A and B are shown apart, each in its own frame.
Chain A
Amino acid sequence: MRVALFITCVNDALFPDAGRAVVGLLERLGVAVDFPPGQTCCGQMQYNTGYRHQAEPLAVRFASVFAGYDAVVTPSGSCAAMVREVYPRIGERAAAEGRGDALAEQAARVVPKVYELSEFLVDVLGVEDVGAYFPHTVAYHPTCHSLRLLRVGDRPTRLLRAVKGLDLVELPGAEECCGFGGTFSVKNPAVSAAMGSDKVRAAVDSGAEVLCAADNSCLMHIGGTISRQGSGVRVMHLAEILARTEGSAS
């Protein structure tokens, strides 16, 4: 099986540790992962802000860069959802607007091969215990797009429960949005910040040392709020926890 990593633009530029963790984790599980260097961004920011025509060439790029792989793994629920839910729609609109069926056809081929990390681990590799060790109290925030678009369900928490030493605690109001919302965070900063503060309070109330999610864009917002407020919780991507072993530092 030829497996490609789709790192996402946010992880590439700002959170490379999550990508390194995915690579380390998959290699530990015996999966040789490839990183096609032509990849950039899925176009979600453009599309969700109303610039579908700017997102379209990025969808074309994605479909061509990842065309030769059997599986594409990404450490972002919302980027995976962008490809799976929205690319077919962009392809349809491109065809309707006279730009041909090529994108719709390419999208139809690549869409079924795109997996968010927890889906790939549980559904494709069939593992829940990835051999990780992380002796900390953790609360899991199910990000909206992984929850409601991808419907990853309890896959992430099954993976976390199997981590040696990890104490998974409940996050109050877990399924409520953190308030990031892409450009919402700067277009509606007051509401975004209010939602972020409430999420941070929930994390503190949970008693967790670490707030974990499978999307670094949400964690950038939550973590930025924590850092500004000086709350004693830290944020970590799911991959970074799953990559930790008894041999590695925690």
Chain B
Amino acid sequence: MSGTYRGAPAFPKAAEASTRDRQLRGNLRHATHTIRAKRARAVAELGDWAQLRAAGAAIKDHTLRHLDHYLEQLEAAVTAAGGQVHWAVDADEANRIVAELVKATGETEVVKVKSMATQEIGLNEALAEQGIRAYETDLAELIVQLGDDRPSHILVPAIHRNRSEIRDIFRSTMGKWGRPAPDDLTDSPAELAEAARLHLREKFLGAKVAVSGANFMVAETGTLVVVESEGNGRMCLTLPETLISVVGIEKVVPTWQDLEVFLQLLPRSSTAERMNPYTSTWTGTTDGDGPQTFHLILLDNGRTDTLADTVGRQALRCIRCSACLNVCPVYERAGGHAYGSPYPGPIGAILTPQLRGTASEVDASLPYASTLCGACYEVCPVAIDIPEVLVHLRERVAEGGPATRHGTKVTIKPARGHAAERAAMRAARWAFEHPRALRAGERLASGTRSVHPARLRLPGPARAWSDTRDLPSAPPEPFRDWWQRTRGARGGDGGRATQ
């Protein structure tokens, strides 16, 4: 993934800073609770939501199982319709292909449709190194780009910004990228939107090359689909002469009938709309209408490795709706930047450590960025059991084990920094296998309770508990002693049952 995120701190450290930022917590709480409630209402309108969700998961699973077949079908259909298909094994290859294609047009500027895949590969930064300027045209992506910032949400990348912050960004930096914002710009939504419209309109009309992603690719006809709310995508997909689409290989669906399921699941889960405002579809090129050159870059970048993992592969069902982010109590407090990747929230916590591996500090910390409360699984429109995958990836971090990296089976070593924890877990397991030792330990705690300070400050990692919470006081006797003392005489029954 992008070098932009290299060296990001571990999740707990970044999240700790976020919890102290009252403005950020207020912005996020308001935004996530609003969209959460709207989603619940939009989903409740459909009597067959459970069946749609099951169908979505089944279609994705079927497609992933036969991914080779559907990708080749897609490639043939796109080629037959006048498009050119390129295969990119990783971010570097994809970036190189896009840069070469843009250079071949002689242009030094491109307009962009909001795209997670190009965030993932760090395309804008890679193009800048080649002297090519990429303009984001989605309003929130524009805010992020002008603010020299990073997206913090999949669907609402500037969710961490409020209106007055956006006005300040527009006033100070819009002029450096094109048409400036008016000097007397206020923070009223209508004025902010108008400033962005005028600024972007010049980009749309001047652009010769556009770069997009896609929400879906229909294998049977070679059709790509982008769903969006602002119309900027439609502009980018129709006005330029050359269109370059970078799409993850898991975005393919077999047929239009399959697409129908996702066009119901996605808008209700993401923006809580019955139907998204703009649905653009294109199939290769059409003479005299729209871009006359179309390139599709099919991006792997860790997806095949993820597909090899029988538990983790369900993450590839994701349709990037963000419902899991909006309902996640950890995301709400930590904010999206803490996840050190363009994919924040619960889905990011299972996707990033699979696409990038668990070697870096932040990637090894992501599977632990959850209380396993299960709210994400409940709202996921394609039924990804995120808690199950989180625990699976925790095992990879804590115990190590088999994984696939770059197409090769490897054995991952346990992550550094887990030695003390591993010893503690083993010790606990030993005590739990020896009830008498356990009982002795409990008695020791109870027997010394009179000398425990009321507000104990624990040493080492346990201080993380005692810094904000009091510990319960040890009881006068553990339960098993009370049982033995009061009912032990009739314990023979239990003895027989358990030998």
Contact = CB atoms under 8 A, between A and B. Distances in A.
Interface of A: 2, 4, 7, 9, 11-17, 19-20, 23, 34-41, 43, 45-55, 57-58, 61, 64-69, 144-145, 147-149, 175-177, 179-196, 220-221, 223-225, 227-228
- From B393, B395, B491, residue with most partner A Cβ within 10 Å: B395
Contacts, number: 221
Contacts of B399: 50-53
Given A40-B438, A177-B373, A179-B371, A190 B479 contact: no
A189 B465 contact: yes
B429 A186 contact: no
B371 A180 contact: yes
Contacts of B397: 50
A224 B470 CA distance: 4
A189 B465 CA distance: 7
Interface string B386-429: 00000101111111000000000000000000000110011011
B468 interface: yes
Contact of A14 (B16, B19, B475, B491): B475
Given A34-B497, A40-B432, A189-B465, A54 B425 contact: yes
Interface in B309-345: 329-330, 333-334
Chain A interface, >50% SS class: helix
B432 A177 contact: no
B372 A64 contact: no
Given A2-B493, A50-B396, 4 more contacts: A15-B475, A48-B394, A180-B371, A191-B16
A38 B479 CA distance: 13
Nearest to A20: B482
Contact of A228 (B333, B469, B498): B469
B425 A36 contact: no
B371 A184 contact: yes
B373 A148 contact: yes
Interface in B13-52: 15-16, 19-20, 25
A148 B377 contact: yes
Interface stretch (B111-119, B173-181, B238-246, B362-370): B362-370
B437 to A, nearest CB: 10
A225 B468 contact: yes
Given A16-B478, A50-B391, A69-B497, A191 B377 contact: no
B472 A223 contact: yes
B334 A191 contact: yes
Contacts of A38: 435, 498
B162 to A, nearest CB: 20
29 contacts: A11-B479, A12-B478, A13-B474, A14-B474, A14-B475, A16-B477, A34-B491, A34-B494, A38-B435, A51-B395, A52-B395, A53-B399, A144-B371, A144-B372, A175-B375, A181-B372, A183-B368, A184-B372, A185-B464, A187-B12, A187-B464, A188-B368, A190-B19, A190-B20, A191-B15, A191-B330, A193-B469, A220-B472, A228-B468
Nearest to B421: A49
A13 to B, nearest CB: 5
B462 interface: yes
A148 B426 CA distance: 29
B461 interface: yes
B438 A228 contact: no
B169 interface: no
Interface of B: 11-12, 15-16, 19-20, 25, 329-330, 333-334, 367-375, 377-378, 391, 393-399, 421-422, 425-426, 428-429, 431-433, 435, 438, 442, 445, 455, 461-462, 464-465, 467-472, 474-475, 477-480, 482-484, 487, 491, 493-498
A47 to B, nearest CB: 7
Contacts of B378: 148
Contacts of B438: 9, 40
Contacts of B367: 50
A54 B372 contact: no
A37 B398 contact: no
Contacts of A144: 371-375
Contacts of A149: 374
A194 B426 CA distance: 30
A208 B333 CA distance: 26
Contact of A185 (B422, B465, B482, B487): B465
Contact of B16 (A17, A177, A190): A190
A182 B372 contact: yes
A177 B375 contact: yes
Contacts of B19: 190-191, 193-194
Contacts of A223: 470, 472
Given A37-B494, A40-B438, A189 B480 contact: no
A17 B394 contact: no
A23 B468 CA distance: 33
A34 B477 CA distance: 19
Contacts of A68: 496-498
B494 A224 contact: no
Given A35-B494, A186-B464, A41 B428 contact: yes
